[in-house]
Structure 1
Amino acid sequence: MIRRPSIYLPTLFQSFSSSTFTYKTLLFSSSTLIILHDSHSKRTLSPFYNLLPPTQNPNNVVNLISSLLKHKSSHLSLLQSNDIKGILPQLGPHEISRVLLRCQSDHSSALTFFNWVKNDLNITPTVQNYCVILHVLAWSRVFAQAMELLAELIQMVEIEGVCASSNEGIYENLVGCTEDCNWNPVIFDMLVKAYVKVGMVEKGLETFRRNIETCLIPNVIACNCLLSGLSRFNYITQCWEVYEEMGRLGVHRNAYTFNIMTHVLCKDGDTDKVTGFLEKMEEEGFEPDLVTYNTLVNSYCKKRRLEDAFYLYKIMYVRGVMPSLITYTTLMNGLCEEGKVKEAHQLFHQMVHRGIDPDIVSYNTLVCGYCRQGEMQMCRSILYEMIGNRICPDSITCRVIVDGYARDGKLLSALNTVEELKRFRIKIPEEVYDYLVVALCKEGKPFAARSFLRRISEDGYTPKMNTCNKLVESLCEFNNVEEALILKSDMENKSMKVNVAAYRAVIICLCRVKRTVEAEVLLEEIIGSDMLPDVEISRALIKGYCEENKVDKAVSLLKLFAKEFQVYDTESYNAVVKVFCDVGNVTELMEVEDKLLKVGYVPNKLTCRHVIHGLQKAMELDDEILNHSLS
């Protein structure tokens, strides 16, 4: 509980300008309620409204709703009745706060009304409305719901800016509302924790500092929460600032505080300072516990200081702190990182003999260690041991073993292992299936990949889009364009997007097998899908048409790629030139070159060679014609 001596409250109010709020008489006993007087509405309404029936009088909206809320058995039904719908437009932010203030002694009614306004009337409460309900809940010690609303308010104000119309922030409004509300100082500690909870640790630290300036002494739980958040985001200097401030303010630090600071020391990289810190911790009456030792063991292992880590492991037994599964797994991982997998396995057996049951993490640690050393037989042995102990292999286990076999060039063993696991009714993660399909493609086995994909699809597996695209590419590399087109069609039926790489592979393959017209249809699909064709697609199509002696189509595509996509491929350009020159059609070539020059194509040395060859060819043809006519 936060300390609340009477001298702090005047300081709290005086720390803000008098224009924020005014107050009359406060009794400073922590058990005394603040006496409330209804404030008048800020609206200026006609006095003639008082001649209307109560349910139609806008002046009566606060009184009417407050009266309805007293009927506990039918809060919502009364609030949703037609009797008050006529005056609901008069329910503004000021009126909402007044209703909440009248419900201070009944937090359930206040919360019902607040949620009704927010959810049923679709009115976004102001920052002040939120602060009033927060004070009501905190005063009634309904801390869980208060924390939820605090996080919601922070999300709206600080992140989304929904309630940001007020010139004052959350903190100022919380303080301002203390004039009219019964309030519990713990709400200001909760604000620190709420900021940390949503990841805004800087705002949490700022609130912590403001609380101290206002003489609101934080409790150890709020301080520890802030320390944990600062540590998580690597605010090391600020951690020590808060820690020292706790000592200065007389906040009694506990074992959790020291464990957080031990973790901070380890993150700071200064593990050698830990000894002195532990001594100070013991001077204050706190013995290092399991969390402390596990933090240090983990830090030493990460720094590859295994001797120090195992020294602490032995000290734990001396101090009567029994190492846990986390301790053993951390040490095993440290040994595996050093390549000492057999020693890690021995430690694993020691752990089991001491009555600690291994979990999936400890087994995976050994599997990873043996896999890195290429000892796949030991990996399989551990895998079967896991299954025998009713520990189901997870995605990490499967992926590590499959990856190990693939790295050793033993994909068949990986596939067999997967089949064995399926016989044990172990669910194979889809990412492992995707990995295997892609691995088969990379090894140049697209037909095996396609067959494997069909088989596992019967079990309900749906491949990822990238996996299918990779398989399409691989099939085309081996000229199996029909199978690639079927797979492409399947993808489209399942609303999977065929990427440019897959389109490119199919187009190149179609052109290679003299099906350039079909390839051009795919070009139209690419353009229609808002994708951009590249140089390789351009080259495949143009060369395809050139090889089929459809030079007009090739020229047309050269222009299209240049004008629409700024793709200029000299190799494609020279392929077109060569077709004209091979038949000695230099006259038409000159006309085509003029057109191509206008769209940006520039001849090079190879173009000149082709033209010279074309001129020679033309001269030879002329001589043949002349000789034929003379004969």
Structure 2
Amino acid sequence: MTLTLIPNSFSKIHRPISHYFFVVVARLHNQALARKVFVNQNPNNNWVVKVISTLCITHCFKSQSQSQSQSQSQSQSNFKFLAHFSEILSPCIVYQIIRRLNNNPIVALDLFQFLRVNYKDLPHLVTTYECLVKSLCQRGLYSAASTVVIDGDMPDSSIWSFLVSSCVHEGKFDIAKRLLVKAHCSKVGVKSVTFNNLLNRMVKDNRIHEAVCFFEERILGSCSFVDTCSFNIVIRGLCRIRNVSKGVEFLNDMGRFACSPDVITYNTLIDGLCRAEEVDRAHDLLKEIRSKNGFSPNVVTFTSVISGYCNLSKMKEASTVFHEMVNSGTQPNLITYNVLIDGYGKAGGMASALQTYEEMLLRGCIPDVVTLSALIDGYCRIGEVDEALKLWHEMDRRKIHQNAYTFAILINALCKRNRLTEARFFLRQLMSSNVIPKAFMCNPVIDGLCKSGNVDEANVIVAEMEEKNCKPDKYTLNILIIGHCMKGRMLEAISIFHKMLNNGCGVDAIIVSSLISCLLKAGMPNEANRVVITISEKDLDLEFLSSAKIRSLEKNYGNSCGCLTKAKCPSVDQKLDLQLAGNN
């Protein structure tokens, strides 16, 4: 297209190129206002696209600066100038304009809506919808993007699927559901994977009831877009919330929707039944699977039932299922052996656990940290700590690194046997390893040291814990409080008590009662009274100050405990009076 709108004199003026462009835009616009722009049969689309795009942005920004909140009619009026370009507007030009407005999706949306209302005979390309929807999604404008798709005549399923997937990814489930319902009403062929992505994300986000309702009302109700995967997702969610019976109902309904259960369906239900402690029912379902022609359970199916029986300490039944598995030609894997060994160990059947371990080695299955930790735990449960230590060294020989669970088992067992020196050795190993310690691993050693009077070493362990970013819990600090009280270090005990309060550790009746009893026994009623005042000021539970416990303290320590109910603080007095009155 040849445009002769720029005077020849402009070519002689040396100015920036951007200046000439805006002069062209201004003159073209001014002339277009006076008359329509006529072009020849082969217009230069790129030039027209640049001009219209610039005018769209200019008019919209000018209107926005004049009025912060535009009404729809005001927004539509921004594009009245397009009447002067009506003869050259085409689907291709509109697409290119929308693409140029990619960084201004609101302007692009307003333009698109204007064209849809005022130029109803102008069709739009699929790429136009795609470009606009993606632009809006990139800016997080999912509701606006859904309006483009829902209000338009858009049969292309890929755009619907893209928009639904984008909404699902951002957790906009309500918009995604509305789009899928509209797609069904509009007879858009959205694939079942799009529905399944929504169901799967809702289940992962624990919106299981919402997923089940949508599945029943919209997916099953429409008798479309449903496949075996859809059922599997919903059944998995139901099993997670222990509603296995509803999952079984869906299993029985699959045939009505031309869907057949697969091994994942059965494995999910069997695992759900076992977690709900309905292992016999799971075993029956396993037998049902085996009776079907052309359908074989896999190692996961058998292992789930074995694990269920082991958790109930029904090792005879677990062994039966294991032999059924081997006889059916299904090879046990590492997880199967680990589950069985752990079950035998917890039930005290170390002979069977070792026999299973030997069988595992003969079959060429290499043990891991879970295997040997289960054996160590089994030995510790029956008091054979020395045998557990041999397995610990076996792990070192096999270069299997102990995990937190292994350390915790052995340290706790050694402490129960009062073998504190060895327990302290393994705790040092734990602190120097890459394993992140937890308070429950250290508490048995701290407790043993405090009971033996070695409070200083217990304090050292707490310091090591804090260096490893292991925060002492309320049990740790309670042990320390009692330990310091037993050594007569009452001020240190009070200091630890205040540390508990400042760190947000849960202070319960046992801790406070123990501290108050120790303080009164040491002849420090004023300090005991201050502990009560501190508890009251922090609005903590005063259940430990029940009249029965107060009378018990009075009986054991005489009138020195009378101060506990007579603190010289009005607010504290009121709280104590109310608490004591409520217990009388």
The TM-score normalised by the length of structure 1 is 0.62
Q: Secondary structure at the match of 1:396?
A: helix
Deviates more, 1:294-303 or 1:210-219: 294-303
Deviates more, 1:329-338 or 1:539-548: 539-548
Identify the match of residue 277 of structure 1 among 288, 307, 314.
Answer: 288
Identify the match of residue 344 of structure 2 among 335, 340, 344.
Answer: 335
Aligned-partner Cα distance in 1 for 2:304–2:157 = 38
User: 1:361 — aligned with what?
Assistant: 370
Identify the match of residue 113 of structure 1 among 133, 136, 148.
Answer: 136
User: 2:229 — aligned with what?
Assistant: 221
Letter in 2 for 1:349: E
1:213: how far off? Answer: 3.1
Q: Deviations over 1:308-358 (max 9, x none)?
A: 544544454454432100121122123224321122123213212322221
Aligned-partner Cα distance in 2 for 1:455–1:483 = 18
Gaps of 5+ in 1: 1-42, 55-62, 119-123, 158-162, 164-169, 570-598, 603-631
Q: Is the 8 A contact 1:132 1:181 kept in 2?
A: no
Q: Secondary structure at the match of 1:125?
A: helix
Deviates more, 1:316-325 or 1:524-533: 524-533
User: 1:149 — aligned with what?
Assistant: 167
Aligned-partner Cα distance in 2 for 1:567–1:474 = 33
Letter in 1 for 2:247: C
Aligned-partner Cα distance in 2 for 1:252–1:553 = 71
Aligned-partner Cα distance in 1 for 2:148–2:441 = 49
Change (3 A) 1:504 1:558: farther
Identify the match of residue 70 of structure 1 among 78, 99, 113.
Answer: 99
Q: Deviations over 1:347-376 (max 9, x none)?
A: 213212322221222222112211110111
Aligned-partner Cα distance in 1 for 2:567–2:256 = 82
Identify the match of residue 175 of structure 1 among 153, 172, 181.
Answer: 181
1:115: how far off? Answer: 3.3
Change (3 A) 1:308 1:563: closer
Q: Is the 8 A contact 2:164 2:179 kept in 1?
A: no
User: 2:206 — aligned with what?
Assistant: 199
Q: Deviations over 1:189-210 (max 9, x none)?
A: 4444444333344443433333
Q: Is the 8 A contact 1:296 1:309 kept in 2?
A: yes
For the pair 1:406 / 2:415, whether they are aligned, the reply is yes
Change (3 A) 1:90 1:486: farther
1:446: how far off? Answer: 4.0
User: 2:77 — aligned with what?
Assistant: 49
Counterparts of residues 78-93 of structure 1 (less than 5 Å): 78-79=104-105
Q: Deviations over 1:81-113 (max 9, x none)?
A: xxx59x989999x99xx9xx9766664652331
1:216: how far off? Answer: 1.0
For the pair 1:184 / 2:190, whether they are aligned, the reply is yes
Q: Is the 8 A contact 1:476 1:509 kept in 2?
A: yes
For the pair 1:139 / 2:157, whether they are aligned, the reply is yes
Counterparts of residues 457-472 of structure 1 (less than 5 Å): 457=466, 461-464=470-473, 466-472=475-481
Change (3 A) 1:496 1:277: closer
User: 1:386 — aligned with what?
Assistant: 395
Change (3 A) 1:480 1:538: farther
Q: Deviations over 1:158-193 (max 9, x none)?
A: xxxxx8xxxxxx656532355669541424444444
Change (3 A) 1:228 1:420: closer
1:154: how far off? Answer: 5.9
Q: Deviations over 1:271-304 (max 9, x none)?
A: 56346513443x1x22332223323333444565
User: 1:234 — aligned with what?
Assistant: 242
Letter in 1 for 2:337: Y
Report the aligned-residue RMSD: 5.0
Change (3 A) 1:65 1:292: same
Change (3 A) 1:67 1:262: same
Aligned-partner Cα distance in 1 for 2:204–2:476 = 38
Identify the match of residue 462 of structure 2 among 453, 472, 477.
Answer: 453
Change (3 A) 1:528 1:341: same
Q: Is the 8 A contact 1:107 1:137 kept in 2?
A: no
1:566: how far off? Answer: 0.9
Identify the match of residue 380 of structure 2 among 351, 364, 371.
Answer: 371
Change (3 A) 1:307 1:456: closer
Aligned-partner Cα distance in 2 for 1:149–1:254 = 29
Q: Is the 8 A contact 1:137 1:143 kept in 2?
A: no
Q: Which has the higher contact order (CA 8 A, sep 6+)?
A: 1
Gaps of 5+ in 2: 1-70, 83-91
Change (3 A) 1:539 1:445: farther
Q: Is the 8 A contact 1:65 1:79 kept in 2?
A: no
The TM-score normalised by the length of structure 2 is 0.66
Q: Deviations over 1:225-277 (max 9, x none)?
A: 22322333333333333223222332243332343355466646325634651
Q: Deviations over 1:7-62 (max 9, x none)?
A: xxxxxxxxxxxxxxxxxxxxxxxxxxxxxxxxxxxx762699368767xxxxxxxx
User: 1:243 — aligned with what?
Assistant: 251
- Across the two proteins, how many residue pairs are aligned to each other? 487
Aligned-partner Cα distance in 2 for 1:137–1:471 = 71
User: 2:361 — aligned with what?
Assistant: 352
Q: Secondary structure at the match of 1:270?
A: helix
What percentage of residue pairs aligned between the two structures are identical? 18
